[in-house]
Chain A
Amino acid sequence: MADIDIIKDENIVYKKSKVLTDNVMHYCPGCSHGVVHKLIAEVIEEMGIQDKTIGVSPVGCSVFAYNYLDIDWQEAAHGRAPALATATKRLMPDKYVFTYQGDGDLASIGAAEIIHACNRGENITVIFINNGIYGMTGGQMAPTTLVGMKTATTPYGRDVELNGYPLKMTELVAQLPGTCYVTRQSVHTPATVRKCKKAIRKAFENQDKKIGTSFVEVTSTCNSGWKIPPVEANNWMVDHMFKFYKQGDLKDSEKDNPDDYKKFIE
C-alpha cells in the first residue's frame, strides 16, 4: 500500500490526539509521564471538552505538561495544585478541572492541599503519578519510596528508622467521604494503558455528576531516578511497587455503595 492510501480516513486505525501539541516531550525514554499525557489528551478529545478543560500542572518533571496538551493551564507552586483546582472549579463550575501531580508534589509538600481538597469533595479530577522518587531534582527519596529502595538521599536504601514508612496516599484519600472514585492504575503494557484510559475517562465524566473528587493514581517508572533501563524498570515496578501499591479500584461510590452516593448528593 502506498503512503497515500494509508492516510486515507477509512484506513486510519490510530492517530495522535489533536489535543496533543507537536512539541517534542522532554521526558526520558521509558518514563510514564508521556503515556499518561497522551491518555488525558485522548479523553479530552473524545469527550469534546478541549474548550472547557483547565489543567493545573505541578512542580516536578511534568511542570511543562502545558507544552504538550493544547488546553488552558495554570502552573502551580510545588504541591499547591489542588488549591488552584478548588478555586477554579468553584469559580467556573461548568469547566472540567484537573490536577496532574507527582508523588513529591502530592504526597509530601502538598499533602495538606490534596487531603483537604478531597475531603471537601471538590468536583475535580486528580491524576497522581507515583514513581516512588523525586524525578526532577535528580532522584531523591519521595514519601512513596519503598523500604530499602536506594535514592540520592537514601544511598543505603530507605530505612524506616531514619525515614519512616512509604505513604499510601491513594488508600488515605479513599477513606475520605469527599472522594467518589479512587483507583490505582499503571501504563506499562497495552492492556494496562487501555484500562488506565478508561479510569481517566471515568474520573473526568464524574465531574458532570458532581459527586466529589475523582483520584487516579498511576503507579509509574522513573528510569533515570531508579537507574534501571525501561524494560527492566517495568519488571521492577511489577515485582516491587505493585506488591505495596495494589492495583485496581479502591473506591467507586456509584458501584460500591449506592446509599452513600445518594447521601452525598442530597
Chain B
Amino acid sequence: MGELKLMKGNEVIAHAAMRCGCDGYFGYPITPQSEVMETLMLKKPWETTGMVVLQAESEVASINMVYAGASCGKKVMTSSSSPGVSLMQEGITYIAGAELPCLLVNVVRGGPGLGTIQPAQSDYYQTCKGGGHGDYNLIVLAPASVQEMNDFVDLGFELAFKYRNPAMILSDGAIGQMMEKVELSDFKPRWTDEEIQKISGSWATTGKTADREQHIITSLELDSESMEKINHRIQAKYRKMEEEEVRYEEIQCEDAEYIFVAYGSSSRICQKSIEIARAKGIKVGLLRPITLFPYPTKAIAKLAERVKGMLSVEMSAGQMVDDVRLAVNGKIPVEHFGRLGGIIPTPDEIVEALEQKIIGGK
C-alpha cells in the first residue's frame, strides 16, 4: 500500500511527477492549475531526485523546453489550462511531428477566449481532433478522480515512450481543484544516462559520440515523397494504439437500456444520475472513456447493438458526442447534454435530459 494522502488533483500531479522519475517540468502559471508548479517549487525536487523545475516566460517557451527535454530522451512535462494550452499548439504539433515522448496536462477551464476559471470540457476538439496543424494525434487520458491524476502521470509517460508520441492528461478545473483521498505511487528513481541510452539511445540528442551517426530531431522534410512516408509511419502508430491502448470503464451496463457516455468530472456526476434514474425505474448505465484517443469506439458500437439510446454528457456544447455518433453509426438515437461556461451540471438535470432527449424523444 502506497502513502495515503488527502490532496488536490493539481498537487497530486506534482507529487506523481517527482515520484515517477520525471526529469523536468517547465510551466507558466494559469488558474486552475497553478498548484502543480507551486507544489514543485515548494518541494524542490532538484535537491532530492535531481528533477529540473523551471518557470518559463510563457507557454510558448515552456512547450518548447519540453520539446528539447524530450529530444534529449528525458522524461519531461508541462501543465497548463485552456488559454495556455492554445498557445502551446505550435510546440505540440512539432513534438508530434518529431515523434517525441512527453507528458502534457490540461486542467480545462471554460472558454472561448479568456473565458472563465471554472471547470469545463470544451477542449475536447482541440485535444482529440488536432489543435495544432497537420495530421497527428495525442494519446489522451481523461482522469475522473484525484487518484487517476496520480496514476495517469506514470501511465502517460509509459505510453508516450512506448509510442514516441506526446501524451496528454485531459483533466478539468473540478478534478484539479478538488481534494480526495489518494494513494501516491512509490518513488522510482530517474533514469540514469545508461538507461536513457538503452531506451532512447538510437535517436536522442545526447552528444554525437565517435561510434554513431549524428542525431537530428526535426519535423522538417521538404521532399514530399519522404514526408508522406513519415506521415504513414506516424499514422501506423495511431492504428496500433487503437488496437492496443483503448481504455474505458463500464458501470451498470449489463442490464442497461440507456447509456450515458461521459468522461472526467461528468462521468462522476453521471454515477449519481444513474442512482436517481434507476430509483425511477430507468435502466441506465455509464460508459466512461478513459482514453479519449484512442477512443473506445468498438465498446460503444457493441453497446449500441442492445441499448435504446445514448446521452453524451459533457461540459461543452457537444464535442465528444460526434465520436459517440460515429461509433453508433445511426443505429440508435444519440444526443448531447451539457452546461457551458464553467457550470457543472447537476445529477437531476442529466436525468431530465435523458428523459426528454432520449426516452421521450423517441
Q: Of B136-144, B208-216, B281-289, B307-315, which stretch is located at the interface?
A: B208-216
Smallest CB–CB gap between B103 and chain A, Å?
Answer: 14
The reply on A75 being an interface residue by CB < 8 A is yes
Cβ–Cβ < 8 Å partners of B57 in chain A: 112-113, 116
In chain B, residues 285-301, which have Cβ atoms closer than 8 Å to a Cβ of chain A?
Answer: none
The reply on A90 being an interface residue by CB < 8 A is yes
Nearest B residue to A52 via CB reads B207
| Cα–Cα distance between A90 and B91 once the two chains are bound (Å) | 19
Nearest B residue to A94 via CB reads B207
Interface residue count for A (Cβ, 8 Å)?
30
Inter-subunit contact A77/B214 (CB<8 Å): no
Inter-subunit contact B67/A74 (CB<8 Å): yes
The reply on B34 being an interface residue by CB < 8 A is no
Inter-subunit contact A77/B74 (CB<8 Å): no
Inter-subunit contact B207/A72 (CB<8 Å): yes
| Cα–Cα distance between A95 and B204 once the two chains are bound (Å) | 14
Contact of A74 among B62, B90, B217 (CB under 8 A): B217
Nearest A residue to B94 via CB reads A77
Q: A87-B26, A87-B76 are in contact. Are A95 and B207 (CB under 8 A)?
A: yes
Q: A84-B67, A91-B69 are in contact. Are A74 and B205 (CB under 8 A)?
A: yes
Cβ–Cβ < 8 Å partners of A71 in chain B: 207-208, 214
Cβ–Cβ < 8 Å partners of A80 in chain B: 60-61, 64, 67, 91
Smallest CB–CB gap between A60 and chain B, Å?
Answer: 12
| Cα–Cα distance between A91 and B85 once the two chains are bound (Å) | 23
Contact of B214 among A73, A86, A87, A88 (CB under 8 A): A73
The reply on B54 being an interface residue by CB < 8 A is yes
Nearest A residue to B56 via CB reads A83
In chain B, residues 45-62, which have Cβ atoms closer than 8 Å to a Cβ of chain A?
Answer: 52, 54, 56-58, 60-62
| Cα–Cα distance between A74 and B215 once the two chains are bound (Å) | 8
Inter-subunit contact B67/A70 (CB<8 Å): no
Cβ–Cβ < 8 Å partners of B24 in chain A: 87, 90-91
Question: What per-residue 1/0 map shows which CB atoms of B18-56 lie under 8 Å from chain A?
Answer: 000001101000000000000000000000000010101
Contact of A54 among B94, B207, B219 (CB under 8 A): B207
Cβ–Cβ < 8 Å partners of A84 in chain B: 64-65, 67-68, 71
Smallest CB–CB gap between B115 and chain A, Å?
Answer: 24
The reply on B116 being an interface residue by CB < 8 A is no
Inter-subunit contact A86/B219 (CB<8 Å): no
The CB with the most chain B CB atoms within 10 A, among A72, A77, A80, is that of: A72
Question: What per-residue 1/0 map shows which CB atoms of A67-104 lie under 8 Å from chain B?
Answer: 00011111111001001111110111001000000000
Cβ–Cβ < 8 Å partners of B68 in chain A: 56, 74, 83-88, 91
Nearest A residue to B50 via CB reads A91
| Cα–Cα distance between A56 and B65 once the two chains are bound (Å) | 12
Q: A85-B68, A88-B72, A90-B24 are in contact. Are A70 and B91 (CB under 8 A)?
A: no
Smallest CB–CB gap between A255 and chain B, Å?
Answer: 30
Smallest CB–CB gap between B80 and chain A, Å?
Answer: 15
Contact of B65 among A52, A54, A83 (CB under 8 A): A83
| Cα–Cα distance between A52 and B23 once the two chains are bound (Å) | 19
The CB with the most chain B CB atoms within 10 A, among A72, A84, A87, A116, is that of: A87
Cβ–Cβ < 8 Å partners of B200 in chain A: none
Q: A66-B214, A71-B208 are in contact. List 14 more A-B contacts (CB 8 A).
A: A51-B210, A54-B72, A66-B218, A70-B214, A72-B216, A74-B67, A74-B218, A77-B64, A77-B90, A86-B61, A90-B54, A92-B72, A95-B206, A113-B57
Report 16 cross-chain contacts, Cβ distance below 8 Å, ordered by A residue: A51-B209, A54-B205, A66-B216, A71-B208, A73-B217, A75-B218, A75-B219, A76-B67, A77-B91, A83-B65, A83-B68, A86-B54, A86-B68, A88-B68, A88-B71, A113-B60
B-to-A contact residues, CB < 8 Å: 23-24, 26, 52, 54, 56-58, 60-62, 64-69, 71-72, 74, 76, 90-91, 94, 98, 205-210, 214-220
Q: Which 3 A-B pairs have the closest CB atoms?
A: A75-B218, A84-B68, A87-B65
